[in-house]
Amino acid sequence: MELWKTTMKTIVRSFLATVLLLGGGACLSAQQTTAFTYQGLLNNNGSPANGSYDIQFTLYETNVTGSVAAGPVTNSAVLVSNGLFTTMIDFGSGVFTGSNYWLDIAVCTNGGEPFTELTPRQPITPTPYAIMAGSASNLLGTLQVSQLTGTVPLGQLPTAVITNNDTGVTLSANNLSVSTTNRIAPLTVAPNLPTAAIGSVITGANPRWVAVAGRYAYVLNNTSPTLQIIDVSNPTNPVVVGSVGTTAPATCVAVAGRYAYLVAGNSTLQIVDVGDPANPVTVSSVPTSGVPRGVAIAGHYAYVANNTGDSLQIFDVTDPANPVSVASPPTKTNPGQAIAVAGRYAYETFSGNTLQIYDVSVPTNPITVGSCSTIGLGTLSIAVSGRYVYVVDNVLQIIDVSNPTNPVIVGSTNITAGAQAVAVAGRYAYTANNANVIQVFDVSNPQLPASVGTMPANGINSFVAVSGRYAYAANTSANNLQIFDLGGAYIQQLESGTVETGSLQTRDTATVGNNLDVRGGLTVSASARISGGLGADKITIGTNYAAAGTEQLRIVRGTVNAAGTSLAGSGFIATLGGTGSYTITFTPPFSGVPTVTATAVDDIARAGGSISSNSVTIATMTTTGVSVNDSFHFIAIGPP
């Protein structure tokens, strides 16, 4: 009995491609198994065999002797007709991995052992298509992830992968985890450096300043004295929706709630109601003590940097229709340039190369606490982010103000052709340069700020503001507002243990599950709902204020038991005189006579008899007018 060797060799080679594909873990159909079809020609004593035979297949690592790599696999009752037969061989998975193998075949009549081994063993060699499949250079169809195992070495990857600074990559996954073996690694999304603005809109002549709040940008035009309101909800197509004239060419604008506060060259602080962006209305104009250059808003106070006269002037704008100057602290004799307020401190720059810091925790009594010399002649613009102050002129300077009594310049770098304004967002600073560009600096290491590139602005920019993923530049050459897409990361939902951010802007609703700590001022432009308790020094509600007769009020409330002991509240001392007669002494006294109401727990309580700014007498009695000792609640509201 013999097998036609040449035919067998050809057939084995023909089907090896299937084995190699399946054994290597890559296939063109998820339904394929590890079995493959084998065809051969069997002769018996020189003549084609006929009948039923048992055929045994064994895979060896060498052509003689050697170790068995797989098998033996015995196929019983294989039908042979005129010498030809077809059968399936399955050595299982993980066999054909690229090693050299030889196939050993043994045959016997059906049930008629022993097997007769056919020699020599046949080498299993790849066909041309099997060679191509080994490199998968032209893989067709979808490669199922479930068919892939193991790790692809980095050296096997192309140079342009997402680990090698590739661009234009979209990474989509249900779950994406970034981790290291021994430390927390930061995930940094660098800003985009656009080659052009994505949108622009014509402004008035010589735009000097831009402020962004929500979906609107507010642009001050100097030569044509106007405040323009621009809808930037579609950054590619900004639209001017409203404008109002200014009392004179204005130099700075700040927006808080529904009001815009701007300072003009005719020594004026002008307040504009922008609640209806299409119809802004000036509600007041008040003189400043000098020619103002900058303005900042914190709580219900406006801080004005004057270029002449009192360098810093503070206005109470609780009633925007009637702003009142409340303080002008001693300042440098040099002209004030720019002003910023963060927390309890105000920061002002002067043309005499100075940064001065004031403690404004009591705005009616600001105190100078520190100062330092700056580089350059003007320090035209200032920004505050965290513990650092950023000022610009011919250089970008970074000042550590963590100790306000001793501010220290920790880093600086040259600016191309000098700059007129600076904005800081996260780890980057953006400067409006005189060289027709917006320059971007990495300030993550404040001691070594580094320029990372520029954005062409097609003209000289007088100011730059950054809000969210966009930069807004007021271009004095082209008389327009340009908008640049800075890129960044878009996250549909984010859960984070802690978040540190330079600025936070929400387009819809912000929900705080636990506590909200506001170190500076809190301005609510529409309505506020507080379901728990509220503790605050001052609250400004932008919509609901008294147009006339507005006053600051102090509230003292308390609970007193029948023995005259205070159970709740502060700012008072309770004493029991005669039966049912209690004296509430205010500590400190009100500046005027307060309004007082009282409610007894079981009987009737009345406030009266004697009431003054120092104290009030509260009487408790039965419904029939008999004096009795009883617990009561009271509340007193009056001028502080």
Q: What is the pLDDT of residues 273-288, one digit of tens each?
A: 999 999 999 999 999 9
CATH number at residue 619: 2.60.40
User: What pLDDT, on the 0 to 100 scale, is given for residue 346?
Assistant: 92
Domain total of the chain: 3
With a cut of 70, say whether residue 547 has pLDDT above it.
Answer: no
Please indicate, yes or no, if residue 182 is contained in any of the structural domains. Answer: no
Same-domain status, 426 and 574: no
Same-domain status, 392 and 290: yes
Phi and psi dihedrals of 9, rounded to 5? -60, -45
Mean pLDDT of 424-436: 87
Which of 136, 170, 186 represents a domain boundary (last residue)? 136
Same-domain status, 340 and 440: yes
Please indicate, yes or no, if residue 246 is contained in any of the structural domains. Answer: no
Same-domain status, 259 and 363: yes
Which of 442, 462, 482 represents a domain boundary (last residue)? 462
Please indicate, yes or no, if residue 46 is contained in any of the structural domains. Answer: yes
Which of 136, 155, 171 represents a domain boundary (last residue)? 136
Same-domain status, 440 and 564: no
Mean pLDDT of 325-347: 82
Element (H or E) spanning 619, and its range? strand 615-621
Q: What is the pLDDT of residues 203-222, one digit of tens each?
A: 998 898 899 998 999 999 98
Residue pair 227/211 in contact (Cβ under 8 Å)? The answer is: no
Q: Give the residues across from 342 on adjacent strands.
A: 345
Same-domain status, 448 and 344: yes
Token readout for 306 is 């004057």
DSSP 335: P
User: What pLDDT, on the 0 to 100 scale, is given for residue 8?
Assistant: 39
Percent of the chain at pLDDT exceeding 90: 30
Same-domain status, 566 and 445: no
Please indicate, yes or no, if residue 562 is contained in any of the structural domains. Answer: yes
Please indicate, yes or no, if residue 153 is contained in any of the structural domains. Answer: no
Measure the CA angle with vertex 521, ends 520 and 524; round to 5°.
145
Q: What is the pLDDT of residues 361-391, one digit of tens each?
A: 889 899 999 988 887 655 668 999 989 999 9
Domain encompassing residue 572: 554-638
Task: Count the residues in the chain.
Answer: 640
Residue 169: strand, helix, or coil:
coil
With a cut of 70, say whether residue 175 has pLDDT above it.
Answer: no
Same-domain status, 305 and 449: yes
Same-domain status, 286 and 410: yes
Sheet strands (E) in 311-459: 312-316, 324-327, 336-342, 345-350, 354-359, 367-373, 381-385, 388-392, 395-400, 408-414, 419-425, 428-433, 437-442, 450-456
User: What pLDDT, on the 0 to 100 scale, is given for residue 236?
Assistant: 94
Q: Considering the chain, what is the average pLDDT of its residues?
A: 79
Distance CA 90, CA 71 (A): 9
Q: What is the pLDDT of residues 75-108, one digit of tens each?
A: 888 888 888 888 888 888 878 777 888 888 889 8
Same-domain status, 291 and 439: yes
Please indicate, yes or no, if residue 548 is contained in any of the structural domains. Answer: no
With a cut of 90, say whether residue 601 has pLDDT above it.
Answer: no
The end-to-end CA distance of the chain, in Å, is 118
With a cut of 50, say whether residue 616 has pLDDT above it.
Answer: yes
Please indicate, yes or no, if residue 394 is contained in any of the structural domains. Answer: yes
Strands 523-524 and 540-541: parallel
Please indicate, yes or no, if residue 173 is contained in any of the structural domains. Answer: no
Q: Of the ranges 149-153, 270-274, 359-363, 475-479, which is most confident?
A: 270-274
Distance CA 225, CA 212 (A): 19
Residue pair 232/215 in contact (Cβ under 8 Å)? The answer is: yes
CATH number at residue 337: 2.130.10.10
Same-domain status, 453 and 562: no
With a cut of 90, say whether residue 47 has pLDDT above it.
Answer: no
Same-domain status, 439 and 558: no
User: What pLDDT, on the 0 to 100 scale, is given for residue 20?
Assistant: 33
DSSP 81: B
pTM for this model (two decimals): 0.57
- Please, what's the b/e burial string for 355-394 (b: 16 or more CB within 10 A of its CB; e: otherwise)? bbbbbbeebeebebbbbbebebebbbbbbbbeebbbbbbb
Distance CA 177, CA 169 (A): 17
Mean pLDDT of 439-450: 93
Q: What is the pLDDT of residues 414-427, one digit of tens each?
A: 887 778 889 998 88
